[in-house]
């Protein structure tokens, strides 16, 4: 079992602080969005990444190490009325930019966060979890003033369309176990080890 240090756990009260800035986020509805989405693929230290964005910001990040067509299909199901177009870009540039903007804790990407109002609230809580810290589904529920909604919170965490960027991999079971992850527990463990290395080297 992969246990987490208790001194790095963020409790519900942390997420109730209203001073958090969300000016880099545009909110929307995934099912009704009918404009263009551009996507690209590139290799990284974490594996092959599938990244998609609108004119307002990143809307989807997933792993395509198993089947890139399956990852595209997953993205298209989330935004069924969008028009998709592929754009080839420099793999090395993309990964360096990706790392600089988020994984190293610098300026965040512009995000186009599309989902239900409840999902968006959960995802915004996830965005507040710094590298090296963690929380639980129950803590998130308390932070949202819905202490009995940990299952609903878990479903929203699992529906996160922006892997890595919206760090759902930093959410654990109440006992500190890894629990679930959309892209698999092995990938979740890899992400956490990668971030631990960043934290230890800073």
**Calpha distance 177→129 (Å, rounded):** 17
The residues, any chain, with a CB within 8 Å of residue 7's CB and separated by 6 or more, are none
76's tokens: 């298209």
Give the catalytic positions in this structure.
Answer: 168
In the numeric block, the tokens 């994984």 are attached to: 103
**Calpha distance 188→15 (Å, rounded):** 22
Count the Cβ atoms, other than its own, within 10 Å of residue 29.
Answer: 12
Tell how far CA 14 is from the center of its chain.
19
Burial class (CB in 10 A: 0-12, 13-18, 19+), 1: exposed
The CA–CA distances, whole Å, from 49 to 80, 109, 126, 163 equal: 21, 16, 20, 10
């Amino acid at each position: 079992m992969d246990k987490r240090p208790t001194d790095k756990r963020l409790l519900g009260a942390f997420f109730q602080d209203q001073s958090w800035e969300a000016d880099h986020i545009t909110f929307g509805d995934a099912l009704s969005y009918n404009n263009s989405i551009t996507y690209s693929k590139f290799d990284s230290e974490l594996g092959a990444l599938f990244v998609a964005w609108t004119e307002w910001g990143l809307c989807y990040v997933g792993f395509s190490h198993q089947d890139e067509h399956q990852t595209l299909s997953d993205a298209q199901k989330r935004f069924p009325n969008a028009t998709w177009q592929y754009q080839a870009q420099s793999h090395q540039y993309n990964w360096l930019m990706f790392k600089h903007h988020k994984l190293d804790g610098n300026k965040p990407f512009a995000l186009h966060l599309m989902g239900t109002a409840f999902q968006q609230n959960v995802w915004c809580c996830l965005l507040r979890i710094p590298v090296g810290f963690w929380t639980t589904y129950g803590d998130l529920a308390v932070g949202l003033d819905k202490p009995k909604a940990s299952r609903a919170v878990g479903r929203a965490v699992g529906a996160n369309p922006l892997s890595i960027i919206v760090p759902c991999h930093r959410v654990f079971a109440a006992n500190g176990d890894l629990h679930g992850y959309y892209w698999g527990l092995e990938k979740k463990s890899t992400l956490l080890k990668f971030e631990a290395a960043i934290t230890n080297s800073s």
